[in-house]
């Protein structure tokens, strides 16, 4: 007799099999017991008919507690009533371990309670579906960049330099000197691009910002490509191709997960249509001011402003050329304007906010050195970064995509914390 996973049921219709599973839920009548089974690969229904099994088996099926683990033996059958499409008609049950008083019952629970029990909440069908989508986004990311000739590089997590703003860094000691948890791998990726041409990284990122919004995390995972010999407009094309590819891959490979989350697939299909619209920061400010937003040119946009702008489009939108004063030191100035830089934020539809931030990087040595000084940074700490401009500098661009924000948007979930497998310590201090 074969031991199979639930996800492989369609390959074994009519066959007698063994499955190891947990009891997600159950219900019963006088003659039939229905067990909701999960094994990590999928969820489906187990049916125990009283007249077809030993009395002890039926009594055991009715008495099983939620999250008890079992071996079940039975025959796989098609089930046209369920979205999964298959079920198992059980003939025998062996209890592996009994669970008593499992805290997350089928009733409604608040987000804080669920996050406090995140190690158990992951077992639910919706969280399982979100993690499948997360996994597919990661898989598709590697596929996308490998197909385009990028090389995967791993920048350090402990750094001596700030890529963005030093007030947002977690500081620690590296023996006898200051060090910081990585805010971005970008500076190191620029060095890698000067060696390998097209590179990308995927790793943890830390922002020391106390935030309780549904959009922000203190620790998250970021995809960061850097591309030599590439200007800003060419980078935007890569960015929209990448996002469309991720959405398309989830639609193709996570159909059942999207069903569980009740995600509108037709809406997602729109997000695969390229190109994405582009508006300038100037145009965005004008749009907001005409609609009674209290926004002054030179200010960054918050969640209400981004959501309003996104509602004017049926797909992600680029906001390009932000004011130089509100962007990091490494961004290249616009060739026709001193007050803005060659950058863009991609804003997701449906109120999910920024999913990508990117720019063309400043490639002139003297200009970059002056920007480092003007930002109040220690030039000595950035000599290695300036070396990239001293020795064979070229036009180059890059961007970063936050994994959890992307998962939240594609899966259509309410809170970004549902997109992380486990609540990190820092997220628990500042939920």
Residue 308 backbone zone (phi > 0: left; psi -120 to 50: alpha; other: beta): alpha
Task: State how many domains the chain has.
Answer: 2
Q: Give the C-alpha separation, 187 to 231, whole Å.
A: 17
One domain, residues 178 and 134: yes
Which CATH number fits the domain that encloses residue 26? 2.40.50.140
pLDDT at 430 over 60: no
pLDDT at 168 over 90: no
pLDDT at 429 over 80: no
Selection from 43, 35, 33, 32 nearest residue 9 by Cα: 43
Q: Give the C-alpha separation, 91 to 49, whole Å.
A: 8
Q: Give the C-alpha separation, 249 to 254, whole Å.
A: 8
Task: Identify whether 59 is part of a domain.
Answer: yes
CB of 74 closer than 8 Å to CB of 88: yes
Measured CA distances, 289 to 215, 302, 305, 320, 326 (Å): 24, 14, 10, 18, 19
One domain, residues 328 and 263: yes
CA angle 346-418-103, nearest 5°? 175
One domain, residues 202 and 278: yes
Task: Identify whether 145 is part of a domain.
Answer: yes
pLDDT at 428 over 60: no
Selection from 178, 141, 139 nearest residue 162 by Cα: 178
Mean pLDDT along residues 232-239: 98
One domain, residues 151 and 57: no
One domain, residues 89 and 129: no
Selection from 285, 349, 296, 371 nearest residue 320 by Cα: 285
pLDDT in tens, 348-384: 999 999 999 999 999 999 999 999 999 999 999 899 9
pLDDT at 419 over 90: no
Task: Identify whether 82 is part of a domain.
Answer: yes
Task: Identify whether 102 is part of a domain.
Answer: no
Q: To which H or E segment does residue 76 belong?
A: strand 69-78
Cis peptide, bond prior to residue 96, ω within 30 of zero: no
Q: Give the C-alpha separation, 131 to 224, whole Å.
A: 21
Q: Which of 112-116, 187-191, 278-282 is predicted with the least confidence, judged by mean pLDDT?
A: 112-116
Residues of the chain with pLDDT > 90, as a percent, come to 81
pLDDT at 426 over 70: no
Mean pLDDT along residues 294-310: 95
Q: Give the C-alpha separation, 430 to 217, whole Å.
A: 9
Write down the number of H helices and E strands in the chain: 14, 17
Selection from 67, 234, 223, 257 nearest residue 140 by Cα: 223
pLDDT at 431 over 70: no
The structure tokens listed for 128 are 């399982």
Report CA dihedral (193, 196, 202, 203) to the nearest 10 degrees.
-70
One domain, residues 264 and 368: yes
Q: Give the C-alpha separation, 2 to 12, whole Å.
A: 9
Q: Give the C-alpha separation, 216 to 207, whole Å.
A: 9
CB of 159 closer than 8 Å to CB of 141: no
Q: To which H or E segment does residue 398 belong?
A: strand 396-402
Contacts of 74 (CB under 8 A, 6+ apart): 16, 17, 46, 88, 89, 90, 91, 92
Task: Identify whether 215 is part of a domain.
Answer: yes
The pLDDT of residue 40: 96
Mean pLDDT along residues 402-407: 94
Beta strand 177-181 with 171-174 is antiparallel
One domain, residues 63 and 145: no
User: Which domain covers residue 303, as residue numbers?
Assistant: 118-419
Task: Identify whether 247 is part of a domain.
Answer: yes
Q: Give the C-alpha separation, 33 to 51, whole Å.
A: 11
One domain, residues 403 and 352: yes
Question: φ and ψ at 261, to 5 degrees?
Answer: -85, -5
Model pTM greater than 0.85?
yes
Task: Identify whether 104 is part of a domain.
Answer: no
Q: Which of 134-148, 197-211, 417-431 is predicted with the least confidence, judged by mean pLDDT?
A: 417-431
CB atoms within 10 A of CB 41: 16
Which CATH number fits the domain that encloses residue 154? 3.30.930.10
The pLDDT of residue 1: 86
The pLDDT of residue 16: 97
One domain, residues 49 and 137: no
CB of 332 closer than 8 Å to CB of 361: yes
pLDDT range class, residue 165, cuts 50, 70, 90: low
SS3 label, residue 86 = strand
Task: Identify whether 144 is part of a domain.
Answer: yes
Residues of the chain with pLDDT > 70, as a percent, come to 95
């Amino acid at each position: 007799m074969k031991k199979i996973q639930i996800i492989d049921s369609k390959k074994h219709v009519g066959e007698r099999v063994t499955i190891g599973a947990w009891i997600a839920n159950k219900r019963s009548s006088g003659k039939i017991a229905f067990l909701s089974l999960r094994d990590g690969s999928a969820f489906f229904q187990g049916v125990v008919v009283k007249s077809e099994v030993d009395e002890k088996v039926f009594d055991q099926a009715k008495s099983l507690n939620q999250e008890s683990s079992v071996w079940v033996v039975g025959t796989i059958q098609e089930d046209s009533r369920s979205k999964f499409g298959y079920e198992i008609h059980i003939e025998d049950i062996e209890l592996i371990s009994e669970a008593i008083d499992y805290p997350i019952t089928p009733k409604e629970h608040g987000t804080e309670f669920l996050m406090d029990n995140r190690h158990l909440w992951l077992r639910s069908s919706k969280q399982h579906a979100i993690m499948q989508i997360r996994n597919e986004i990661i898989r598709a990311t590697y596929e996308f960049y490998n197909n385009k000739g990028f090389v995967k590089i791993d920048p350090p997590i402990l750094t001596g330099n700030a890529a963005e703003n030093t007030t947002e860094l977690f500081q620690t000691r590296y023996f006898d000197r200051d060090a910081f948890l990585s805010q971005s791998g970008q500076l190191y990726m620029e060095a890698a691009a000067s060696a390998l041409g097209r590179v990308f990284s995927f790793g943890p990122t830390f922002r020391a910002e106390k935030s309780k919004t549904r959009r922000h995390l203190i620790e998250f995972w970021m995809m960061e490509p850097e591309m030599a010999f590439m200007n800003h407009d060419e980078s935007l094309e890569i960015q929209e191709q990448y996002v469309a590819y991720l959405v398309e891959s989830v639609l193709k490979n996570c159909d059942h997960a999207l069903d569980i989350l009740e995600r509108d697939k037709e809406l997602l299909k729109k997000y695969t249509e390229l190109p994405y619209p582009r508006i300038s920061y100037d145009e965005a400010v004008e749009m907001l001011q005409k609609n009674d937003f209290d926004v002054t040119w030179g200010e960054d946009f918050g969640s209400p402003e981004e959501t309003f702008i996104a509602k004017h489009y049926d797909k992600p939108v680029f906001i390009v050329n932000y004011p130089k004063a509100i962007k990091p030191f490494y961004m290249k100035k616009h060739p026709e304007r001193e007050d803005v830089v060659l950058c863009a934020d991609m804003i997701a539809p449906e109120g999910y906010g920024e999913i990508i931030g990117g720019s063309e990087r400043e490639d002139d040595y003297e200009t970059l050195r002056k920007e480092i000084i003007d930002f109040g940074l220690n030039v000595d700490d950035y000599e290695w970064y300036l070396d990239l401009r001293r020795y064979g500098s070229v036009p180059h661009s890059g961007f970063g995509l936050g994994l959890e924000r992307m998962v939240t948007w594609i899966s259509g979930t309410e809170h970004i914390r549902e997109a992380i497998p486990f609540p990190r310590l820092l997220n628990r201090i500042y939920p």
